[in-house]
Amino acid sequence: DWTASNIIEDSVARIRQQVGTKRVVLGLSGGVDSSVTAALLHRAIGDQLTCVFVDNGLLRLGEAEQVVATFDRHMGVNVLHIDAAERFLDALRGVEDPEEKRRIIGRLFVEVFDEQAAKLDDVAFLAQGTIYPDVVESADSSGGKAHVIKSHHNVGGLPDYMQLELVEPLRELFKDEVRRIGLELGLPADMIHRHPFPGPGLGVRILGEVRKEYADLLRRADAIFIQELRQAGWYERTSQAFAVFLPVRSVGVTGDGRRYEHVVALRAVETVDFMTARWAHLPYDFLDHVSRRIINEIEGISRVVYDISGKPPATIEWE
Ligand code: XMP
């Protein structure tokens, strides 16, 4: 019968059988799937696992530190924390088209990951957090966005110079099963119940050209929004929530005069499958409080708007 500990025991045995004494490399994003894969592999093969965490400069506030703290410091997992922010931002300079930005971010991720993996001695396996719905989506020849998403997220193809075999211990599991296993393996509940975050990160939440100064402002606004959602008990009642940076400027007045600064949009949705979504009917008082905090605390943002568009036609992300 299905219990998390049975599944773990079974997976651990299968991983050991497959891997033997060889080494495994895993691209750790901090998302649910890659995190649970890392925890499971660590349980099975300990030090034979090396995780590569690529900081692309487009992560949320404190995110890199959090991932490294959880895996490296608390669990004793080997994690290579690669700060590639400058490289990503350089490559994105002047690029405004959303799909072009996605391509650049995806390509660079693979490049950086491969460089690190190539430095490791006798790696024979690449672990991926592929779950059952990904397998089904990939088999679907219509090949929609989900396909593109996973091909980026899950590293997409092995580098030619390495003949790595895949280890995909979550391949037969649904998301809720993955979550239960993660909890059983001792991953923090807030990591397991985190809203999804797109591979290209803030790169598609800064409309148009990505700049470091925009990313810094957006990170702070997003953190305020999420913190308030958690505090108000709304985080669990929404499927995804985030701030979007709009590179337009709008006039504002404050005690000390006129401001002419940027705009942030807040988006929160409720959805089951992410194919359709309803905008979350957050209380006005709550929105008021968040808006005031963002404008008061973040110099450079003088206006906050709330996105009241459903999907369809509006996608969940703005780009
Ligand atoms: P949309 O914006 O298409 O998003 O309504 C549906 C879900 O997919 C996520 N998303 C992405 N995830 N790479 C990802 O890994 C991407 O390029 C990407 N674009 C959208 C989005 O956050 C939402 O959960």
Within 10 Å of residue 262's Cβ, how many Cβ atoms? Answer: 21
The answer to whether residue 318 sits within a structural domain is no
Query: pLDDT tens for residues 181-227?
Result: 999 999 999 999 999 999 999 999 999 999 999 999 999 999 999 99
* Residue (of 82, 81, 89, 68) closest to 112 by Cα position: 82
Å from CA of 145 to ligand 1 middle = 8
d(CA 286, CA 70): 31
Which numbered atom of ligand 1 lies nearest the CA of 315?
Answer: 5
Which residues form the pocket of ligand 1, taking CB atoms under 6 Å from any ligand atom? 102, 145, 149, 152-153, 196, 198-200, 240, 274, 311, 315-317
* Residues 187 and 221 reside in one and the same domain: no
Q: Where are the alpha helices (DSSP H) in 93-166?
A: 98-119, 132-139, 145-153
Percent of the chain with pLDDT over 70: 93
In 21-172, DSSP assigns E strands to: 23-27, 49-55, 78-83, 123-127, 165-167
Band of pLDDT at residue 128, cut at 50, 70 and 90: very high
Nearest CA to ligand 1 atom 24: 196
pLDDT at 140: 58
Note whether ipTM > 0.95 here: yes
Among 33, 56, 100, 149, residue to substitute to test ligand 1 (most atoms within 8 Å of Cβ): 149
Tell me which residue range forms the domain holding 244. 205-306
Q: Provide the pLDDT for residue 141.
A: 47
Shared-domain flag, residues 138 and 213: no
Q: Are residues 71 and 24 in the same domain?
A: yes
Which residue's C-alpha comes closest to atom 22 of ligand 1?
198
Sorted by sequence, the CB contacts under 8 Å of residue 72 that are 6+ apart come out as: 78, 79, 81
User: What pLDDT score does 88 carry?
Assistant: 98
CATH number assigned to the domain comprising residue 257: 3.30.300.10
Task: Identify the band that residue 158 occupies on the pLDDT scale cut at 50, 70 and 90.
Answer: low
Q: Which of 87-96, 139-148, 178-187 has the lowest mean pLDDT?
A: 139-148
| pLDDT tens digits, 23-35 | 999 999 999 999 9
What's the CATH number where 125 sits? 3.40.50.620
- Find the distance separating the first CA and the last CA of the chain, reported in whole Å: 43
pLDDT at 154: 45
Omega of the bond leading into 196 within 30 degrees of 0 (cis): no
Q: Which residues are annotated as a binding site for ATP?
A: 29-35
Residues 160 and 239 in one domain: no
Q: What are the backbone angles phi and psi of residue 150, rounded to the nearest 5°?
A: -70, -30
Question: Are 13 and 85 found together in one domain?
Answer: yes
Taking the C-alpha atoms of residue 113 and residue 111, their distance in angstroms, rounded to an integer, is 5
Q: Would you say residue 319 has pLDDT above 70?
A: yes
Determine contact, residues 243/266, Cβ cutoff 8 Å.
yes
Of the residues 104, 274, 275, which should be mutated to test ligand 1's pocket, given the most ligand atoms within 8 Å of the CB? 274
Ligand 1 atom 10 nearest Cα: 198
Task: Based on the fold, state whether residues 59 and 149 are members of the same structural domain.
Answer: yes
